[in-house]
Structure 1
C-alpha cells in the first residue's frame, strides 16, 4: 500500500529528531570520556606514574654494621666478623625437603637449625631467603658452589655476625645479641622496619641490650626492580647505612680476665673501682658462660646445662645479686653514730657474747665475747654487740639515711641488665611494705648488715670507694663513645666530718694490718700499698637455741646452699686510695677466709698493672701464691690458644 506524502514527511521528522538525540548523547559521552582521559593522563599523570613505579620498584633495607665494643686500652670485646652462610629461597627450591636432604649430604646440618628455618619459611613470603646454616667453613661453601645445579634455591652468602673473642670473661658485662623474636617485637609499640629483617640481630642482655639503639646504627636502603610476584629482578641503586657507634668501656680486659680466673669455680663475684675517676675496671661474676653460643640460637642441651647449674652461671651476681652485707656494713652504723655525736672513739662497750633486747638474745659471733671494746677494736675484731648497742642509740632512720649516702639502697645507673637497687630499710619502708611497725630487734639486726638490709657487690664497692675518698664516687662503665670521652664519676666531697672518716678508715686498716684483725691473714706487706678492709659473714639460715646449746654446726659440715655467704671490702693504698674492691663468695663461709684473699689478689694485680712480685705477700704465703700465679698463667695461655684456634 502506497503511503501518502504527509505520512512520509512526518516519519522523516521523527527519525531526524531521534538521530539528533542519539547523536547528542554519543557526543556528550565521547566528550565526557575525553575530558576524563585528559584528567587522568595530564592532571593526574604524576600521581599514577608514582603508583606504577611503586608497583615495579621496591625499597629494601640494608642492615647497618653494628658498633664495636672495646676495653679501656683498645682491646676488642665485641666485633663484627665475616661469616659464611647458606640460604634457601623456598619458591626457587620447589621441593624444599628434597633440596635440604641433598644439601645435608654435602655438609652437616643441625636439626635444630633446620627446624628453625622451616618455621621461618611458614611465616615469611616464599621469595625471601631463609638461613639454613650459619658460620660454616670455606670448604663447605666450595662444596655447595660446585653442586649448585643440583641445589635449586640454595645460595652461599657472606655476611656479618657478632663475635665475642674474650668469651666468658665479659659475658655478664657485654652480654650478647640474637635474632629478633616475636617477644622482642611485642615489647615495642612501633618497631622499626629494620627489626623485621629475617635473622636481624639485636642486643638481648647486658651492655649490648642497654645501648642497643646506639650500637645498632641506621639502616641503608637499596632500590630493586621486582616482578609481579615480588621477586627481585635487579638492583637499581643503593644507599649505605650509618654504622653503629663504637663504645669503649672503662674495664681493663687483662684485669677482668685475671679477676674472672681468680674467682675460679666458686659461685662468686668481684668488683674493682678506680677511686679517682669512678671507673669500673673489673666486674666479674662466676661461673660464667660463652656468649657466642647465644648469637645464632643456643641448643636446648647447652641451655639446659646452664639453667640447671646450681651456681647460676647466667646470673650477673655483681649487679643482680643482693645479699645481707653482714659486718661490711658496720662502718655505716659507726658513721651514723659518730655524725650524731653519740659516741666517742675511746668509749667502750662490754661484750659478753650476747645482748638482751626486748626479751630476745642477740649473739655475737664470738661466743665467749670480746670484753671491753672501743670503736677501733670493734671493727678490727668485728664485735657484733658493740653495734647492737650503737644501733639502739642512733635508730634505724639515721642508719638507713647514712647507708644511702654511701650508695647502698640506691640503683646505680650502669648500662647492665637488671641492676638491683638493694635495700636500706627504715620505719616507713616496713610500714608501707608489710603494714607493720618497725621493731627494736629489726634495728639491731640491721646494724650488722642482717635482717632486711640488702646490697649488691657493686654497691659495696661504691660504699668502700666513698669511705676511702670522702667523695660521692659514682661508678662509670662507658669511657668513650666514638672517641668522645664521657663524664667521669669522681664525685663531690661528701658532707661528712673528716675526723669521723679517718676514725673508720683507721679501724679498717687495723682489720688488715694488726694481728688480731679478721683480715690480717690476707694483708699486703709491700710498702706504700697496704690495704684497709673489712670482712663480713652473711647468714642464710636461722640458728636455733638448741643448736647454740649443742654447738653451732660449722659451715664446712653443712650442705653448700646452707652455708654463710663470705664478703670482703677493701681499698688500697691506705694512705692514698687508688682502688676499692668488693668480693662476695656465695655460701663461702667466713669472709676473712674465702673472700679476703681474692680481694687482696685483685687489688695487687691492679696496683702493679700485672702479676705482682712475691715480696708484696707475707713470707709464709709466697710458695702458695707462686703456685697460684703459675696455675692462672697456664690457664690464661690455654684459653688464648683456644681463642686463636677458634678464630683460625
Structure 2
C-alpha cells in the first residue's frame, strides 16, 4: 500500500471511529437517562401498580349539653367479616372453583361462563362461613352473590361483612366460639348513639352515609384508593356543624400482590375524632318539657330561652322520633313510619301558626306607641264588638277593662277596639320591628321564611283586594292572615320582658368573646311605667284569677299570656293552645313558649288548660337549679 492509499485508508478509519464514538455516546446517554433520570418515574409507576391506599373516616365528634353531658356520641358497631385477601380465604376460593370445574367436566356439562362459575364458587365458600355464624347465633342470614361480586371488583382490600350490626351478646358469643384460625373475624367500627333517644331529636338531627370525601393533601393521592363509607349530617346540629363534627380521615398504604390483595402495610396514619360541639340545651329542662308533653299534648312545640344570653335551653317538637332508629342507617320501614306520622318537621322553627292571643301584646304595644291609648284607657266589654255587618265575639262579658285587666282576662273586645283605633299598618310595623316577619337566624338549618305579617299593601299585592275593618279586628287578636313560628313568639316574649328587641338566638353555648360581639338589641321604646303596666298584666295572667294559673311556680313571679287560635279547615276548625311567658317578672331570666295542636275538629282547646301546664314543668326545673332567682311576689308588686 503506497503512502497515498495508506493516508486515505487511515482517514476513512478515523471517520469510522468518530461515527462509532458518536453512536456509543448516544447509546450511553440513553442508558444514563433511562437508568438515572427516568428511574424515579419508573419507581413511581411501580408503586402505582404495586401499592394501594385505604381510607378510613375518623369518628365524629360528640354533641354535649351546656353542662357537658353527652347528647350524641359514638358507640361500637360489631360485625362478623371476612377479609377476602387472606391466604386461607383465597385458597378456599381457588379450591372450590377447581372442584366446581372438575365436577362440571366429569358430568359432561359445558361451562359457558367461567366468570359466573368463579362468582358462584366464592358465594358458596362465604355461605359456608356464614352458616357457622348463623348456627352460633340462631340467625338466618343469606349470602348475596351479586354483592360479593361488587365487593371484589370495587373494594377487594376492605372486609366483606357477613353479618352487620351484631348485638353485644352476639359479639360475645362469636368471640368465645370462633376458633383462632377461623377466616371469620370480628370487626369493630363506630356508629352514632343517642343516649336520650327521642329528646332533642329535631334539633340534634341524624347522619347518613355516602362516599368518603378525599382531600387532595392526603398521602398516596396517585394510588388506587379504597374507602369505607363516610358519614354526613342529614339534619339539625349534625348537618349545620357537619364540618366541625367530621373526623380526620385515616390513611393506610399497602403493598399488594399481582391479584391486588394485601401483602403488608408500609404507611399508616390513624384517623382522628372530630370536634365536640357544646350546645346551649340543658337536658334537665328538655326532659321536663318532654314530661309535660307526655301528659298534656301529642302535637306541637316547646322552646325555652335564656333571655340574657339568648341561648336555647330546651327545644322540642312533637311528634318526634327515636334517633337510635336512624343508626347505623335508617331503613325504608323506619323512614316510612316517621314520614306517615309527620314527625320529621321541627315545628319549633318550621311550623307556621296563627299566634292568637299572644299577639295582643303587639297590638297593645302598637296602640301605646301610636298614642291612641295609654295604660289607663278603658273600653267596655259586652261580649263582642260590631264591625260592619259582623259581630266579633269575646269569650266573656268583662265590663270595664283597662290594659292590665284586658291582658289578664284576654278580653277580645278590648283589643278589637284598640286595634281598630291603632290601624293595621301600625300593628304590622310593630310586628316587623319585633322580627315576626322574618326568620330568627338561629344556627339551625331549614328555619322557615314563609311567615306572614300582613298589611294593607301586602293584601293588595297578594290578593288584589282592599283591607277591611274586619281584617283589622282579626289581626288585633292574632287571627286572620298572621302566621308565626313558635321560636318567633319565644323571642317576642323575651323582648317584651326586657323592653328590648332581640334577634339571632343560638343553640350553641356562647363563649364570652362570642357574647361580646353578638348583635346589640334594639330598644322596644316603651316608657318605664307603660312597660311595667304590660308586665303587670302578664303577671296577673299567671295568678289564681288569671288564664294561666296552671303555670304558677311557688316563690317565683311568672308573667305570661295564653291564647287559643283557630286553623280553618273544610270540615271545621282545629284549635291551637298557646302559652308564652317569662320569669321572674322583676328580673327576667327565662322565656318559654308552648304550643299544643288540637287533635279533633271543633274541639274546645285552651292555652291555660293545655299549654301553660307544660311550661310550668320547665319553669320548675329551671328554678330548682337556680333558686337564687326566686323572689317573693310582693317584691315586684311593690314596684308598680
Give the TM-score category using the shorter length.
Answer: 0.7 to 0.9
* Aligned residue in 2 for 1:400: 428
- Report Cα offsets for 1:72-127 as digits up to 9, x if no partner: 11211111223322234567664236524423333355869979966973883344
User: How much does 1:259 deviate?
Assistant: 1.2
Over 3 Å counting, the alpha-carbon distance change for 1:118 and 1:541 in structure 2 is farther
Whether the 8 Å contact between 1:335 and 1:500 is mirrored in structure 2 is: no
Alignment correspondent of 1:548: none
**Residue aligned with 1:387, SS:** helix
Q: Which residue of 1 aligns with 2:188?
A: 158
Which residue in 1 is equivalent to 2:286? 256
Query: Counterpart of 2:613?
Result: 597
Q: Is the Cα–Cα contact under 8 Å of residues 55 and 226 in structure 2 kept in the other structure?
A: no
2:497–2:588 Cα contact (<8 Å) kept: yes
Q: CA deviation at 1:21?
A: 12
1:240 is the counterpart of 2:240: no
Aligned position for 1:326 = 356
* Closer/same/farther in 2, CA of residues 607 and 219 from structure 1, 3 Å limit: same
1:134 is the counterpart of 2:162: no
Q: Quick one: distance in 1 between partners of 2:135 and 2:19?
A: 75
1:375 aligns with 403
Q: Residues 132-184 of structure 1, C-alpha deviation per residue, up to 9 Å, x if partnerless?
A: 412432653652785469975x4311222221111111222212223227xx9
Distance 1:116 1:469, change over 3 A: farther
Match of 2:96 in 1: none
Of 619, 622, 625, the residue aligned with 1:609 is: 625
Q: 1:288 aligns with which of 314, 320, 323?
A: 320
CA shift digits 1:180-236 (9 cap, x unpaired):
27xx99xx999x99x983332222221111100001032232332223443222111
Give 1:525 deviation, angstroms: 5.9
* Partner Cα distance (2:197, 2:509) in 1: 21
User: 1:45: how far off?
Assistant: 2.9
Q: Do 1:536 and 1:592's aligned partners in 2 also have CA atoms closer than 8 Å? A: yes
Are 2:112 and 1:96 equivalent residues in the alignment?
no
Task: Work out the number of aligned pairs and report it.
Answer: 568
Residue aligning to 2:32: 38
Superposed CA deviations along residues 533-553 of structure 1, whole A, max 9, x for unmatched, are 11111101269xxxxxxxxxx
Structure 1 position 340 matched with structure 2 position 370: yes
Runs of at least 5 residues in structure 2 that lack an aligned partner in the other structure: 1-7, 94-121, 600-604, 634-640
Q: Secondary structure at the match of 1:167?
A: coil
For the pair 1:314 / 2:308, whether they are aligned, the reply is no
| Residue number among 260, 263, 272 corresponding to 1:230 in the alignment | 260
1:390 aligns with 2:418: yes
Bigger mean CA deviation after superposition, 26-35 or 290-299: 26-35
SS in 1 for 2:200: helix
2:118 counterpart residue number:
none
1:232-257 per-residue CA deviation (whole Å, 9 max, x = no partner) reads: 22111222344311111111112211
Match in the other structure for 2:496? 467
> What is the Cα deviation at residue 479 of structure 1?
1.2
Q: 53, 61, 66: which one pairs with 1:72?
A: 66
TM-score, normalised relative to structure 1: 0.77
Q: How does 1:161-180 map to 2 (within 5 A)?
A: 161-180=191-210
Question: TM-score when scaled to structure 2?
Answer: 0.78
Rate the CA distance shift 1:587–1:610 in 2: closer, same or farther, 3 A: farther
Q: Output one character per residue of 1:479-524: Cα deviation in whole Å (capped at 9) or x when no partner.
A: 168xx87437695352412333222212212222262x322x3252
Does the aligned pair in 2 maintain the 1:272–1:282 contact within 8 Å? yes
Whether the 8 Å CA contact 1:472–1:490 is kept in 2: the answer is no
State the partner residue of 2:568.
Answer: 541
User: Offset at 1:260?
Assistant: 0.8
Verify: 1:518 aligned to 2:547, yes or no: yes
Structure 2 residue 43 is matched with structure 1 residue 49: yes
Counterpart CA distance in 2 for 1:530 and 1:313 is 35
Deviations 1:21-49 (A, max 9, x none): 99999987766454333323233333333
Q: Residue 444 of structure 1 is aligned with which of 473, 483, 486? A: 473
Aligned mate of 1:209, from 223, 239, 251: 239
Shifted more, 74-83 versus 392-401: the winner is 392-401
Residue in structure 2 matched with residue 636 of structure 1 by the alignment? none
| Distance in 1, Cα, partners of 2:356 & 2:141 | 50
Distance in structure 1 (CA, Å) of the matches to 2:243 and 2:173: 37
1:469 Cα shift? 1.1
Alpha-carbon distance in structure 2 between the residues aligned to 1:611 and 1:112: 60
User: Take 2:140 and 2:147, find their aligned partners in 1: how far apart are those partners?
Assistant: 11
